[in-house]
Structure 1
Amino acid sequence: MTVDRRRASAALTGLLLGLLGLLAGPASPARAHAALVASDPGANTIVPDAPNRVTLTFSESVQLIAGKIQVLAPDGSRADQGEPQAAGGTVTIPLRSGGARGTYLVSYRVVSADSHPVAGTLTYSVGATSTPPSESDAAQAVDPVVRALIPVGKYLGYAGLVLLVGPVLVLALLWPHRLSRTGPARLVWTGVGLVLAGTVLGLWLQAPYTTGSGLFDVSGGDLQAVLGSTFGAVMLVRLGVIAAAAFLLRPLLRGDGGESKADLALLGVLGVAALATWPLTGHPTASPVAGVSVVVDAIHLAAMAVWLGGLVMLTGFLLRHANEGELGAILPIWSRWAATAVAALITAGVVQALIEVASFENLFETTYGQLILAKVGLAAVVIAMAAFSRKLVRSRSAETGPRTLRRVVLAELAVTAIVLGVTAALVQIPPPRTAEAAETGATSSTITQTVSDSRVSLQVDVFPATVGNNSLHLYAYTPDNKPLPVVEWTATAALPSKGIEPIEVPLLRITDFHAIGDIALPMAGEWTFKFTVRTSEIDQSTLTVKAKIS
């Protein structure tokens, strides 16, 4: 083996190993990209009567997993009945009638729009709190082996695209007729195999990933559920498209002139269809502008595959085997391709970042935004290298031109491998818009506090906990948590830190021990609520609650 060939082989091997490390390293653990933003009954609240259903509201649409949603009664028995229903981001769980007093546990595990599982628990109480029923934390976890293999599957797909898309374009449009296609053909078939392997592995892993089971604890029903989901349908389309493309690739890879323009055109259509399957199983499907995000992400991925795959062909074969005349014709064309791919990468990346980051501050204050900035910096380095390459192409008459160009291209491959690693990490990290949705949901949730004296225990619910129109729910209990009839309710709200004097809150009696009121809180801050509860002609209690309104 010649020195140049050894260097090229080492560079390609290093690129793939580097990608594997970068894809597997930063991406663990895979995290859910939807958030529970509200529930009814609210988390940690006490309701006077047992509800007939529990409603969970998520930041994006979700799909149900059979047997992974339940409500446990205070005695540990199942309180839910029938099958839960999902409509967009809302999940409704029907409950049995006549629920007992005490604390209930709601546990859920669903699949978010971007194919990641969302799991968690919450409690609510009927009449009074009690020791909540327990559920193993393992039921909400992802098996560590499954979690570690997920980025490996993504790596196989990305590496396969690089070895498939760029080389096929070079063979179809730039490859000299006199050169053998044996080496590039092996590269392309390797790419096909990697995409197929990554897809099959992704389908298998999705079953234990969504159910929380082990790698080999997958039943036929679990696989059937995955294949029947949106994720499974998209992955099956990818398998079909790649298999069809493999038949059309054979004449091109043989180089016997058997491929027709119609075959090449159909191959291009199949390539576009295959590229679209990646964004359809990731962040773009859950974007506020899903159609735009899917198209932009597909363009981003295609530009990456063309650019990086073309660089592999350039440094692995053309710069070593093509003669001066052939390189003189090929390199200027490739230089324009590379410039176009870089422009597409930048434009698509900026658009997608604007959608996912949501605000300028998130670029610096979130892990997702910081990785975007790192990616931009690395892209700037690669663009500088590409500009130098174009300069060498224009002046390649010098004896050292091809050798220097090979070194620059190898450096481009190395830095681009890091860029791809950052991209893979971004796939596994919730975007800021999801985090903001979760934070907004948490901020807007009910504030529940209980205050008491020797005569009365008063539960106060304030919702939402934000400036605007707010509701108060008051529940009166005896010190031993029995409903306490109230003769008269009065309430005021004040914000001393901003000079707002007590404002009277009109209250409406709903039951003997339950009253509600409405008030428009005009400013954020720690509000002071005072409640007077008169339980007889001579007995009354005045209780104070402080609640932070944002």
Structure 2
Amino acid sequence: MTVDRRRVTTVLVALLFGVFGSLLTSAPASAHAALTASDPANGSVVPDAPNRVTLTFSESVQLIAGKIRVLAPDGSRADQGEPTVSGSEVTIPLRTGGGRGTYLVSYRVTSADSHPVAGTITYSVGAASTPPSADSEADVTVDPVVKALIPVGKYLGYAGLILLVGPVLVLALLWPHRLDRRGPGRLIWTGIGLVVGSTLLGLWLQAPYTLGSGLFDVTVDDIRTVLGSTFGAVMLVRLGVVTAAAFLLRPLLTGPGGGESRLDLALLGVLGVAALATWPLTGHPTASPVAGVSVVIDALHLGAVAVWVGGLVMLLGFLLPRANGRELGAILPIWSRWAMAAVGALIFAGVVQSLIEVSNIDGLINSTYGRMILAKIGLAAVVIGIAAFSRKLVNSRAAEDSPGPLRKIVMAELAIIAVILGVTSFLVQEPPPRTVQAAEVGTSTPSTISETLTSQNMSLQVSVFPAKVGNNSIHLYAYTLDSKPLPVVEWKATASLPAKGIEAIEIPLLRITDFHAIGDIALPQAGEWTFKFTARTTEIDQSNLTMTAKIS
């Protein structure tokens, strides 16, 4: 028994630290939600103060109390009342009569996959100014201690799942009656403890994670809010399922032969499926374009990993050292079929999930996410080759009399699986191509050129959009030197490109209000264009202003 216990301890330590070591040092997975649009647009200049700001995300989001605000140019709060959310659109009501200058919108919401999504955008009324610099940075960060502990909780939970599902299946269906069950029992209780502990830790960490607060800055109301969320409900279901399974497992873990009934085993199977489903329901699959398919596929993936790796641990740590040749002759062929079925399920689930997340060849080849998937495919091919060799060894019956070679093969399988999960640890942190594209759309600033020109009598705000070769829109806003709207009787404007010999082109302008005019012009070439504006404010008073702008 001393040798067996030492061997089991070695196997478990190697599995937990070799397989999950790189996972524990990773940051939390990137959120799938991304800001795709806003009104006013990020970086834009609008003539009049809006009565609301609208934020549109790539998936549905939930609000976090007190974590959305709009700051006026003087640093005061420009928002009023509570923001509202409808699916993926958040609406923030604003105070009326906002002044000129640049406004800062800071937001922090929870995405469908339970991750906080935070950031800032700016827009300007009339003319750009220095953005307000309140403590908005604190609203978009995650406490580093919380950030480090989240993957610890997640992957200890995965380790618990592996040490629970696979060993229970082997103990219930393949374990010889004459062998003692105390060793596997300790393994299974360890798995239950890891799952329960990681779930409780996850519930605690979700509060500071979503709020951006410190690890111990959690109040009872914060925990109550987490428990009332979708994330909290799913985690409570996981705790209930694991607790019920623990009671049903007691007969299976007591003494040779156990005292389990067929009904107990059937109920354990149902509870196992329910427990597996709680992992994708609190993660990225819920944010997938086809969430129902992704949840089922992810649960299948987790179940296959738990059966395969957990079964290998039982085989290496207990069955190969303890079972005799006759028992191994009965057990190994069955286990070999199970392993091949689990590998097949892994391949199927991986292919489907990759197609959902990557969707095209370019994303597979030219993105970090896609290249990691290719690395996993290569490693999986190696494992399949090793598994095929072990199956051949089992079919030849050589392992019954001399299990040493099979033991080495199983250790090789676990080693390659450790590498695969190491790659996965980085993969789950890397946003898939579809998310990167959405984020790029949301964070890109419109290519608007905005300048304020001044003369002795007026201040002229000029906006050129999109500042590229082709059709461009020109907006002109006239103000007095103390930033009050200045009526303009007549507008004139021209554009020229002296470096390319392009003479002045007249820009037709249309008066929209007393102080606002717009125009459209086709700019045929890139370069430093010269824009000249004339604004006549009375029969005898007018201002001539000039600016240059780089058109790309």
The within-5 A match list for 1:124-273 is 124-136=123-135, 137-254=137-254, 258-273=259-274
Give the Å deviation of 1:264: 1.8
Indicate if the aligned counterparts of 1:534 and 1:540 stay in contact, CA closer than 8 A. Answer: yes
Give the Å deviation of 1:262: 2.6
Distance 1:13 1:227 in 2: 33
* 1:226-263 Cα distance to aligned partner (Å, 9 max, x none): 11111111111111111122222222222655433232
Distance 1:461 1:10, change over 3 A: same
Indicate if the aligned counterparts of 2:44 and 2:446 stay in contact, CA closer than 8 A. Answer: no
Partner of 2:18: 18
Give the Å deviation of 1:45: 2.4
Give the Å deviation of 1:413: 1.3
Indicate if the aligned counterparts of 2:142 and 2:213 stay in contact, CA closer than 8 A. Answer: yes
Distance 1:365 1:470, change over 3 A: same
> Does structure 1 residue 88 correspond to structure 2 residue 87?
yes
Distance 1:398 1:294, change over 3 A: closer
Indicate if the aligned counterparts of 2:80 and 2:94 stay in contact, CA closer than 8 A. Answer: yes
Distance 2:362 2:126 in 1: 44
Gaps of 5+ in 2: none
Structure 1 residue matching 2:463: 3-state secondary structure: strand
Distance 2:118 2:370 in 1: 25
Partner of 1:438: 439
Distance 1:419 1:409 in 2: 15
Indicate if the aligned counterparts of 1:42 and 1:446 stay in contact, CA closer than 8 A. Answer: no
The within-5 A match list for 1:322-341 is 322-341=323-342
Over the residues paired in the alignment, what is the CA RMSD in angstroms?
A: 3.3
> Does structure 1 residue 63 correspond to structure 2 residue 65?
no
> Does structure 1 residue 77 correspond to structure 2 residue 111?
no
Distance 1:184 1:50, change over 3 A: same
> Does structure 1 residue 513 correspond to structure 2 residue 515?
yes
The one-letter code matched in structure 2 to 1:323 is N
> Does structure 1 residue 106 correspond to structure 2 residue 108?
no
Distance 1:4 1:192, change over 3 A: closer
Indicate if the aligned counterparts of 1:34 and 1:118 stay in contact, CA closer than 8 A. Answer: yes
Give the Å deviation of 1:481: 5.1
Distance 2:163 2:503 in 1: 70
Give the Å deviation of 1:448: 4.2
Indicate if the aligned counterparts of 1:509 and 1:515 stay in contact, CA closer than 8 A. Answer: yes
Partner of 1:50: 49
Distance 2:405 2:217 in 1: 53
* 1:320-366 Cα distance to aligned partner (Å, 9 max, x none): 11111111111111111111111111111111112212432333443
Distance 1:437 1:520, change over 3 A: farther
* 1:422-475 Cα distance to aligned partner (Å, 9 max, x none): 323333332221111011234584634226475763331536x99999866443
Distance 1:173 1:506, change over 3 A: farther
The percent of aligned pairs where both chains have the same amino acid is 71
> Does structure 1 residue 459 correspond to structure 2 residue 458?
no
The one-letter code matched in structure 2 to 1:212 is G
Indicate if the aligned counterparts of 1:161 and 1:305 stay in contact, CA closer than 8 A. Answer: yes
Structure 2 residue matching 1:60: 3-state secondary structure: coil
The within-5 A match list for 1:392-411 is 392-397=393-398, 401-411=402-412
Distance 1:380 1:467 in 2: 50
The one-letter code matched in structure 1 to 2:93 is P
TM-score (norm. length: structure 1): 0.89
Indicate if the aligned counterparts of 2:493 and 2:508 stay in contact, CA closer than 8 A. Answer: yes
Give the Å deviation of 1:378: 2.0
TM-score (norm. length: structure 2): 0.89
* 1:100-138 Cα distance to aligned partner (Å, 9 max, x none): 233222111111111111112222222233333222323
Structure 2 residue matching 1:535: 3-state secondary structure: strand
Distance 1:506 1:474 in 2: 12
Indicate if the aligned counterparts of 2:324 and 2:400 stay in contact, CA closer than 8 A. Answer: no
Larger CA deviation: 69-78 vs 474-483: 474-483
The one-letter code matched in structure 1 to 2:34 is A
Structure 2 residue matching 1:429: 3-state secondary structure: coil
> Does structure 1 residue 450 correspond to structure 2 residue 451?
yes
Structure 2 residue matching 1:152: 3-state secondary structure: helix
Indicate if the aligned counterparts of 2:114 and 2:283 stay in contact, CA closer than 8 A. Answer: yes
Partner of 1:351: 352
Larger CA deviation: 387-396 vs 297-306: 387-396
The within-5 A match list for 1:291-306 is 291-306=292-307
Larger CA deviation: 13-22 vs 187-196: 13-22
Give the Å deviation of 1:545: 3.9
Distance 1:307 1:328 in 2: 19
Partner of 1:275: 276
Distance 1:520 1:378 in 2: 55
Distance 1:467 1:283 in 2: 41
Distance 1:420 1:214, change over 3 A: same
Indicate if the aligned counterparts of 1:74 and 1:133 stay in contact, CA closer than 8 A. Answer: yes
Give the Å deviation of 1:274: 0.9
Indicate if the aligned counterparts of 2:464 and 2:472 stay in contact, CA closer than 8 A. Answer: no
Distance 2:476 2:360 in 1: 38
The one-letter code matched in structure 2 to 1:425 is F
* 1:181-208 Cα distance to aligned partner (Å, 9 max, x none): 2111111111111111111101100111
Indicate if the aligned counterparts of 1:285 and 1:294 stay in contact, CA closer than 8 A. Answer: yes
The one-letter code matched in structure 1 to 2:316 is T
Distance 2:452 2:374 in 1: 48
Structure 1 residue matching 2:428: 3-state secondary structure: helix
Indicate if the aligned counterparts of 2:357 and 2:432 stay in contact, CA closer than 8 A. Answer: yes
Indicate if the aligned counterparts of 1:28 and 1:148 stay in contact, CA closer than 8 A. Answer: yes
The one-letter code matched in structure 2 to 1:355 is I
Distance 1:510 1:205 in 2: 53
Structure 1 residue matching 2:36: 3-state secondary structure: strand
The one-letter code matched in structure 1 to 2:72 is A
Larger CA deviation: 257-266 vs 379-388: 257-266
The within-5 A match list for 1:491-510 is 508-510=510-512
The one-letter code matched in structure 1 to 2:18 is G
Larger CA deviation: 444-453 vs 31-40: 444-453
Gaps of 5+ in 1: none
* 1:359-415 Cα distance to aligned partner (Å, 9 max, x none): 323334433223222222222221121112112112233687410101111121122
Distance 1:124 1:418 in 2: 47
Structure 2 residue matching 1:460: 3-state secondary structure: strand
The one-letter code matched in structure 1 to 2:31 is A
* 1:62-112 Cα distance to aligned partner (Å, 9 max, x none): 111111111122222222111111112211111112222332221111111
The one-letter code matched in structure 1 to 2:116 is P
Distance 1:130 1:20, change over 3 A: same
Structure 2 residue matching 1:122: 3-state secondary structure: strand
Distance 1:256 1:57, change over 3 A: same
Structure 2 residue matching 1:278: 3-state secondary structure: helix
